[in-house]
């Protein structure tokens, strides 16, 4: 494997401390004009974070490369084994990097796909935007309220197209659900109840140890506070740590509540109060709530959104033959119920699989019925945003709004009390302790 550009730790810290903006400065006139793909109309992309969902995105992008839509220029990961596998998968001409900043300083890269753990999303998205790169970043958008504000500001200032990976909005049946609901088929909707099963507990804790030789632990931690390596912290399980993941509400909640905000026409709005209760784990390093209930109260228009996380509370999946275009419901354990004054409506999933009731799939719009936006596909919608400047279906403003719901739910659970939210100011009000928790320190040099 051709080696990526490496520097030792002293060189890395010295360069970052002495010239923090150095990796982010690109000569003007190099990139395509805002909202355009460039002279050859083929995007050049790079992938930052290539394990788990990152590997999925790389394989998906290879499909677009085969169709002549993109070039894949680089892959980046703090794990050398994952990096080697990605280079082998991506093929000749794809350059590997351990440090994402070297990817961002490349003048030939138009866009990046960021699929690192949650605690890296905001920093890397903001730095990419400052470099003029268009961004596809995995959900949830951010870990704190202040990170979300920085992401929205960076996208706006640098006029880049951002798509966040709550791909449930782009699923074929999501379009059918949206169209069915906005045409009043269940009447006025006053409540949406999201259901999900428990977060896991660390039932077999292990002691701290040296990190494996292939992993740059300092770089993996990035903006988080320093702590010794423990295999219960990363690679597939970071999700269950509040600091880096936040549990099921920040994982699947970012999908299920994304659909709710989209279908309810609630993007750009927020709750006035958030109240959560839950049960903590009994042992181990993982600290996200095992069970959780959150109530979000919206005003003008008035409606209530709830997150109900309990094993056994799922709505039984609709029976399907498997011959339907969406196939059988393979992830029936989570979704949402929409309560209208003329009936109810259920969807299951909400991410890479979104399945809706038969009545929505078979509904035939009458003359004069309202139509809604039908995504061509989540990445296709992003490409359209890059080329035309159109707002993406899960743009950063909408995605931060959903992430804020998840963050506020966890903060209410941690503090054990109801929170008041000012949507216009994007601030918690009347609670100084909670306000201090809207942000957190970030470790130098991996910070906004």
Residue with tokens 């794809």: 94
**For range 372-388, the mean pLDDT:** 98
Q: Looking at the structure, do residues 253 and 144 belong to the same domain, yes or no? A: no
184, with CB counted inside 10 A (0-12, 13-18, 19+), is middle
Residue at which a domain ends, from 123, 141, 167: 167
The total domain count for the chain is 2
pLDDT tens string 14-72: 343 333 333 333 233 333 444 445 445 799 999 999 999 999 999 999 999 999 999 99
pLDDT tens string 106-116: 999 999 999 99
What is the domain-level CATH number for residue 326?
A: 3.30.360.10
Containing structural domain, residue 257? 169-374+396-436
Residue 137 β-bridge partners: 114, 164
Q: Is the dihedral of CA 101, 102, 103, 106 positive or negative?
A: positive
Q: Looking at the structure, do residues 184 and 158 belong to the same domain, yes or no? A: no
Residue at which a domain ends, from 167, 187, 207: 167
Q: Looking at the structure, do residues 161 and 293 belong to the same domain, yes or no? A: no
Task: Give the model's confidence band at 327: pLDDT under 50 very low, under 70 low, under 90 confident, else very high.
Answer: confident
Q: Looking at the structure, do residues 127 and 218 belong to the same domain, yes or no? A: no
Contact assessment for residue 405 and residue 292, using Cβ atoms and an 8 Å cutoff: no
Q: What is the pTM of this model?
A: 0.91
What is the domain-level CATH number for residue 29?
A: 3.40.50.720
pLDDT tens string 402-437: 999 999 999 999 999 999 999 999 999 999 999 999
Strand 95-97: give its sheet, edge to edge.
95-97, 70-76, 43-48, 111-114, 134-137, 162-164
CA 381 to chain centre: 16
What 3-state DSSP class applies to 443?
coil
Other residues' Cβ atoms within 10 Å of the Cβ of residue 301: 12
2 belongs to a structural domain:
no
**What pLDDT, on the 0 to 100 scale, is given for residue 51?**
94
Q: Looking at the structure, do residues 256 and 217 belong to the same domain, yes or no? A: yes
């Amino acid at each position: 494997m051709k080696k990526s550009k490496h520097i030792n730790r002293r060189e890395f810290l010295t360069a970052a401390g002495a010239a923090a903006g150095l990796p982010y400065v690109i000569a003007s006139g190099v990139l395509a004009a805002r909202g355009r793909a460039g002279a050859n109309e083929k995007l050049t992309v790079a992938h930052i974070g290539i394990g788990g969902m990152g590997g999925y995105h790389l394989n998906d992008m290879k499909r677009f490369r085969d169709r002549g839509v993109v070039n894949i220029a680089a892959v980046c990961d703090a794990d050398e084994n994952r990096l080697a596998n990605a280079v082998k998968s991506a093929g000749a001409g794809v350059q590997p990097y351990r440090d994402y900043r070297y990817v961002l300083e490349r003048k030939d890269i138009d866009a990046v796909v960021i699929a690192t753990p949650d605690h890296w999303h905001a920093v890397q998205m903001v730095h990419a935007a400052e470099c003029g790169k268009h961004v596809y970043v995995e959900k949830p958008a951010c870990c704190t309220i202040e990170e979300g504000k920085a992401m929205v500001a960076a996208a706006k200032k640098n006029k880049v197209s951002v798509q966040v990976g709550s791909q449930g909005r782009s699923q074929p049946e999501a379009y059918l659900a949206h169209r069915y609901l906005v045409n009043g088929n269940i009447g006025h909707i006053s409540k949406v109840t999201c259901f999900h099963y428990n977060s896991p507990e660390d039932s077999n804790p292990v002691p701290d140890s040296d990190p494996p030789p292939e992993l740059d632990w300092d770089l993996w931690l990035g903006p988080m506070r320093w702590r010794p390596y423990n295999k219960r912290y990363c690679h597939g399980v970071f999700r269950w740590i509040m600091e880096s993941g936040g549990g099921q509400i920040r994982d699947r909640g970012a999908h299920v509540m994304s659909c709710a905000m989209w279908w309810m026409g609630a993007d750009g709005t927020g709750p006035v109060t958030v109240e959560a209760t839950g049960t903590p784990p009994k042992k181990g390093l993982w600290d996200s709530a095992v069970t959780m209930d959150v109530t979000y109260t919206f005003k003008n228009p008035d409606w209530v959104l709830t997150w109900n996380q309990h094993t056994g509370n799922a709505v039984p999946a609709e029976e399907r033959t498997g011959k339907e275009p969406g196939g059988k419901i393979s992830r029936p354990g989570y979704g949402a119920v929409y309560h209208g004054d003329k009936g109810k409506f259920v969807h299951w999933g909400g991410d890479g699989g979104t399945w809706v009731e038969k009545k929505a799939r078979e509904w035939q719009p009458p003359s004069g019925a309202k139509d809604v936006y039908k995504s061509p596909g989540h990445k296709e919608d992003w490409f359209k945003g890059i080329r035309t400047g159109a707002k993406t279906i899960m743009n950063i403003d909408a995605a931060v709004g959903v992430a804020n719901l998840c963050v506020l739910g966890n903060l209410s659970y941690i503090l054990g009390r109801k929170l008041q939210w000012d949507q216009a100011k994007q601030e918690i009000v009347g609670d100084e302790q909670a306000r201090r928790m809207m942000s957190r320190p970030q470790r130098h040099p991996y910070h906004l």
